[in-house]
Structure 1
Amino acid sequence: MSNTPIELKGSSFTLSVVHLHDANPEIIRQALEDKIAQAPAFLKNAPVVLNVSQLNGNANWAQLHHIIAQSGLRVVGISGCKDERLKSDIARAGLPLLSEGKEKAPRTTPADPSDTPPPAAPVATPVTKSRLIDTPIRSGQRIYAPHCDLIVTSHVSAGAELIADGNIHIYGHMRGRALAGASGDKDAQIFCTHLAAELVSIGGEYWLSDQIPAEFNDKAARLKLVDGVLTVEPLY
């Protein structure tokens, strides 16, 4: 047991990002109500990041934040903020400003070729293994496969959630939620032998159960993005 009362460790979590394209509080309120009504169990008390890249300092941030909190979403951070006035309002609200991506390294003048050391021997890239689950996934369970595919060889109950940065394979009845490409990979896919999911998502694009074409209910299916649009086709 550690002598220190706390530990600070790095970790990763899958969060939804809400992009605000309008600063009108009533428009935002109605849009949130409509969206949450589609999946109340999935979005209730859900932690989210707000992207405010389309807003400026004229936005009434205090009012917007209040409306979003009233909707039941839990704001854990703000991304995409470039307006200094808006940054100040957000900082006063006590919310963290998150940066996205990496800054480009400054350009440097090429060195004299005669000073360039010989190239190092190539280093093999480590193989990323898939996460394999052989047991049924019960309601309330959440399985996450960071930086790899997720393979489930049993059934997934309603209320369970599968999340993978890569592909998701389910060799059983899929009645829960499946979120592939959770880190933004638009090439990820979902493969399922018995599709009856509450929600499917690839790279942030999602369908609720009533949006999945009825002809694929409890059938073997393959889901992927085509030109940014979620599509489904027979697996066999």
Structure 2
Amino acid sequence: MSTDNQTTAYNPPVLEFKSSSFSVPALILSGNELKAIEQQLQEKIKLAPEFFKNSPVIIDLKELTKQHLDIDIALITEITRKLGLLPIGIRGGSLQQNKNALALRIPVYSNSSNRTNPVETQKTIPATQITEDVNPSKEAASSKAMIITQPIRSGQRIYAQGDLIILAQVSAGAEILAEGNIHIYGALRGRALAGVQGNTDARIFCTHLQAELISIAGNYKISEDLTKNIYNKPVHIYLKDYTLVIKEL
């Protein structure tokens, strides 16, 4: 009588798929004149070059679809790439635009996707509008201020049309932008850009400065520029003669 002691070898999995959410800027097109789009997009990027550098972006076509306006998917993706953005998909397009995007190996996202929670600014820009897809579960936004109560995680990007108030920390690798002031009641370890529409009166306040980058109206400093006497301390940041001033509170 014999027994078979042969066992099947166990091969541990080397990968897995998980549902996840992450923050990606959305480029909303409200006109199809490519020259105007390129010009206005270039002007917007100049306001916060560090933020948009190599940034992934979703091209949102829903406004064009509402107006029955067409746009060449290949050309608009070429424009965004030329300006340093990395288009990772489109949404809101027509059936033909979706087919064209897939032919170019560009993903098509559904407007009703439950994997992101888009929070879009209401200010209209004639040819282009850039908004942020963010995922904090609790936030309140108004035309004057956006208030976020949860930590901003690495990889998240937040855009506020007015002031931005964060009642938690901003992790390394996270980026926050505001057309007005920024208030952070926690550690700032990521990037903070205030006055991104050119508001030189904008200010940044935080209780623990450990930033990778701080900027007001395009004038910025990186972590290497921060001196030891202000590092990890509560500070007030503002512009004076187009130079960033950092004062301990």
Q: TM-score normalised to the size of structure 1?
A: 0.50
Change (3 A) 1:37 1:179: closer
User: Is 2:86 aligned against 1:98?
Assistant: no
Worse overlay, 35-44 or 46-55 = 46-55
Change (3 A) 1:101 1:29: same
What residue number does 1:52 align with? Answer: 61
What residue number does 2:22 align with? Answer: 13
Aligned partners of 1:2, 1:30: CA distance in 2, in Å?
A: 54
Aligned partners of 1:162, 1:78: CA distance in 2, in Å?
A: 19
Q: Quick check: 2:47–2:196 contact (8 Å CA) kept in 1? A: yes
What residue number does 1:234 align with? Answer: none
Equivalent position SS for 1:100: coil
Note the aligned Cα RMSD (angstroms).
4.2
Per-residue CA deviation, residues 160-183 of structure 1 (Å, 9 max, x unaligned), is 98768x962269xxxx95369xxx
User: Is 2:197 aligned against 1:199?
Assistant: no
Per-residue CA deviation, residues 136-185 of structure 1 (Å, 9 max, x unaligned), is xxxxxxxx984252369xxxxxxx98768x962269xxxx95369xxxxx
5+ long unaligned stretches in structure 1? 104-143, 153-159, 181-188, 201-206, 221-236
Residue 58 of structure 1: how far off its partner (Å): 3.4
User: Is 2:199 aligned against 1:211?
Assistant: yes
The residue identity in structure 2 corresponding to 1:93 is: L
Equivalent position SS for 1:95: coil
Aligned partners of 1:27, 1:72: CA distance in 2, in Å?
A: 17
User: Is 2:83 aligned against 1:74?
Assistant: no
Equivalent position SS for 1:75: strand
Change (3 A) 1:10 1:45: same
What residue number does 1:168 align with? Answer: 166
Equivalent position SS for 1:48: strand
The residue identity in structure 2 corresponding to 1:199 is: L
Change (3 A) 1:192 1:63: closer
- Higher relative CO (Cα under 8 Å, sequence separation at least 6) belongs to 2
What residue number does 2:150 align with? Answer: 150
Structure with greater strand share of residues: 2
Q: Quick check: 2:42–2:83 contact (8 Å CA) kept in 1? A: yes
Identity %: 23
Per-residue CA deviation, residues 106-133 of structure 1 (Å, 9 max, x unaligned), is xxxxxxxxxxxxxxxxxxxxxxxxxxxx
Aligned partners of 2:204, 2:76: CA distance in 1, in Å?
A: 39
Q: TM-score normalised to the size of structure 2?
A: 0.48
Q: Quick check: 1:15–1:48 contact (8 Å CA) kept in 2? A: yes
- Structure 2 counterpart of 1:178, from 173, 176, 189: 176
